[in-house]
Amino acid sequence: MQARSTESMFHVKTLAAALLMTSLALVQSAGASVPTTIGAQGALVATGGGGVSDGSYVATFRLYGQESGGVALWSEPPAVLLVKGGSFQYVLGAKTPVDAKSLATGALWLGIEIAPDPELARVPVRSVPFAGRAGIAEDLDCSGCIGPAQVAPAVLKDYAKTSALAKVATSGAYADLTGGPDLTPYALTATLAKVAQTGAFADLAGGPDLSAYAKTNSLTDVAKTGNYADLINLPVLAKVNSSCGTGLVVKGLKADGSLDCVVAMDAASLPKDGLDEISNGLLTNQFTDTVASTTIPLVIMDNFPAGTTDTITFPDVGIAQKLTVNVELTNSDISGVIVTLTDPTGTNFVLYNGGATGKALKASYPAPDKAVSGDLTTWVNANPKGAWKLKVVDNKFVDNKPDGQVSAWSIAIQTLSNKQVAATGMLKVNGAFVPPTTTTPATCDAKAKGQIYFDTAKNHFYGCTGTAWSRLDGISGIDIMNQSWVFSVDSNTGGDPKFTADKYNLTTSSGWPSYCIQTSGSSNHWLKVDFGAPRVIEAFGVAGYPGGSHKPSGIWQLQGSNDNSKWTTVWAGDTSLWTADGNGSYPPKNTIPITSPGAYRYYQIYADTWTNGYLLVCNWAMYE
């Protein structure tokens, strides 16, 4: 595709006219911002003549500084060009602004490329568009204008002559500023201390005298060298290449650094409470003994200054490692209650003094609850044996009647004992086990429950049930019934009570056994023996009439008494335990252990009712 030669002048004129119009617009607006676009119009004809078909064509516009060749000064990216009747209009710079600097070449040529054809012959751009250069006006050409050549240097010397500028204007140094304020009284260097100029600590005047602290020549050698060998007053170190020898272990170091050796198991070096550690927890000599009040509940009287008191006597169990006092009480308002404890030495401890509200107090002192006054921990490493007194006072008035009660209080002592050892696991003895031996056993009470001893007088083992000592080695004790005791019976229709204890053998007798006791008919019957002094009976045996026609019809008992009036049951059983082997040898074949042994002077066989209305006993043995 190309422009027709017959249309070239018209094309050029039309394009020039368009540029002229735009250039005028540039000149008129030069005083403001210079436009960066140029209007262009023209016509496209086909090779065969006539205008090209109407439609859209892809066109690229370029500005050159020469008619042919060279590099474009400016170019517009391919744009859609609308052609109608062969004519078109386009604004150069619509996509890429026309830089005014690209017009400063003198001659300017416009090239148009219609894709896919090559660029058409360039068309010169006339002078009018060069009015755009007014935007930069570096080559303003006018008559009567004054340029640098027309101005004498002397005229401007006072305004822009470098040599006329103050030194500070060219150097920018504050020291070159003239006519400034006099700051010498404030920042005159000569008046500053030397340390302000150098910053060196050595130039500081009037500083503290540190020579005694950091004077190098006063430092010890180790501070200068850092060598361990220069350290003085070294600790005593173990001497190398030394040992304790066979069977010995190191206990420590002596003053000269030699080893302090002891035998491998030095009992004296063990802690007194270390038994559990060395026995893998199987043995211990640490105990917690608790003694509680046996007189509770204790009534608390309302508004009663004298208070309610109670005493616990703590036994001698050893040295205390820990002491705990437990108190439980109720009251209509515990904010008015005071609880005081007095120890065996007479020292008072105020445990509680209205520090809480409510109707119940349950506390443990000194931990986790803290006493109001007094330090219970002073009993650590002391023996707490003796009387401990608790006093509870209600200070608030309600009705002067009973107001609550002390429901429980106790003292618990953790001790390190030198009198007893406990085995927490199974204790196995390969050799002989010898319990305590005595003829006068200690009191059997709740504290001694479970203890055993061997009675050297009776040749029997005994164990404490918590209330009395009981035989442990069976019932083959000494039968004391065939001795000279006093026997009696509620009524007697035959036989001698004494004979019931004699060693007769029914198999050698005939007819009625004269030594059997038969009572007269009544609702209850008894056969009694008086030992003259308290005796502890371990077991007994009774033989009734052969065939058992006379026996208790219900529960029958062996009873003991010390005043012959108040009786205590030491054994009780039903008729199935009544033995009817009166025709056997003495003593009776069926021997019965006592369930609640005690020391009694009088013993009796007793039952409320008997079959046939009679008590009939042929043999009666009592084992001590």
Residue 78: which CATH number?
Answer: 2.60.40
Q: What percent of the chain has pLDDT over 70?
A: 80
pTM of the model as a whole: 0.36
pLDDT tens digits along 90-112: 888 888 888 777 777 778 889 99
Q: What's the pLDDT at 585?
A: 59
Nearest-angstrom CA–CA distance, 114 and 51: 14
Q: What's the pLDDT at 571?
A: 92
Per the model's pLDDT, the better-predicted residue between 33 and 525 turns out to be 525
Q: What percent of the chain has pLDDT over 90?
A: 21
Task: Name which of 39-48, 495-504, 558-567 the model is least confident about.
Answer: 495-504
pLDDT tens digits along 198-207: 888 878 887 7
CB proximity list for 445: less than 8 A, separation 6 or greater = 464, 466, 467
Last residue of a domain, one of 135, 152, 169: 135
DSSP state of 158: H
β-sheet bridge partners, residue 43: 87
Task: Name which of 24-38, 342-356, 421-435, 537-551 the model is least confident about.
Answer: 24-38
Q: Are residues 410 and 506 in the same domain?
A: no
β-sheet bridge partners, residue 388: 312
Per the model's pLDDT, the better-predicted residue between 41 and 142 turns out to be 41
Q: Is residue 478 part of a domain?
A: no
Count Cβ neighbours within 10 Å for each residue of 567-597 and write b for 16 or more, e otherwise: beebbeeeeeebbbbbebebbbeebbebeeb
Count Cβ neighbours within 10 Å for each residue of 202-223 and write b for 16 or more, e otherwise: eeeeeeeeeeeeeeeeeeeeee
Q: What's the pLDDT at 618?
A: 81
CA distances in angstroms from 596 to 249, 481, 557, 572, listed in the order given: 57, 20, 12, 10
Q: Is residue 456 part of a domain?
A: no
- The structural domain count of the chain equals 3
pLDDT > 90? residue 559: yes
Q: Is residue 493 part of a domain?
A: yes
Domain range enclosing 513: 486-623
pLDDT tens digits along 223-274: 888 888 788 887 777 777 778 888 788 888 888 888 888 887 766 767 777 7
Strands 599-607 and 525-536: antiparallel
CA distances in angstroms from 498 to 112, 504, 618, listed in the order given: 163, 12, 10
Residue 359: which CATH number?
Answer: 2.60.120.260
pLDDT > 70? residue 22: no
Q: Is residue 465 part of a domain?
A: no
Average pLDDT over residues 403-412: 93
Q: Are residues 403 and 492 in the same domain?
A: no
Sign of CA dihedral 300, 302, 305, 306: negative
pLDDT > 50? residue 560: yes
DSSP letters spanning 22-55: HHHHHHHTTTSPPP--EEEEEE-B-TTSSBPPSE
Last residue of a domain, one of 109, 135, 161: 135
pLDDT tens digits along 374-400: 999 999 989 999 999 999 999 988 898
Q: Is residue 262 part of a domain?
A: no
Nearest-angstrom CA–CA distance, 366 and 379: 11
β-sheet bridge partners, residue 439: none
Last residue of a domain, one of 400, 416, 432: 416
The amino acid sitting at 468 is A
Instruction: Give φ, ψ of 593 to 5 degrees.
Output: -70, 145
Average pLDDT over residues 156-170: 73
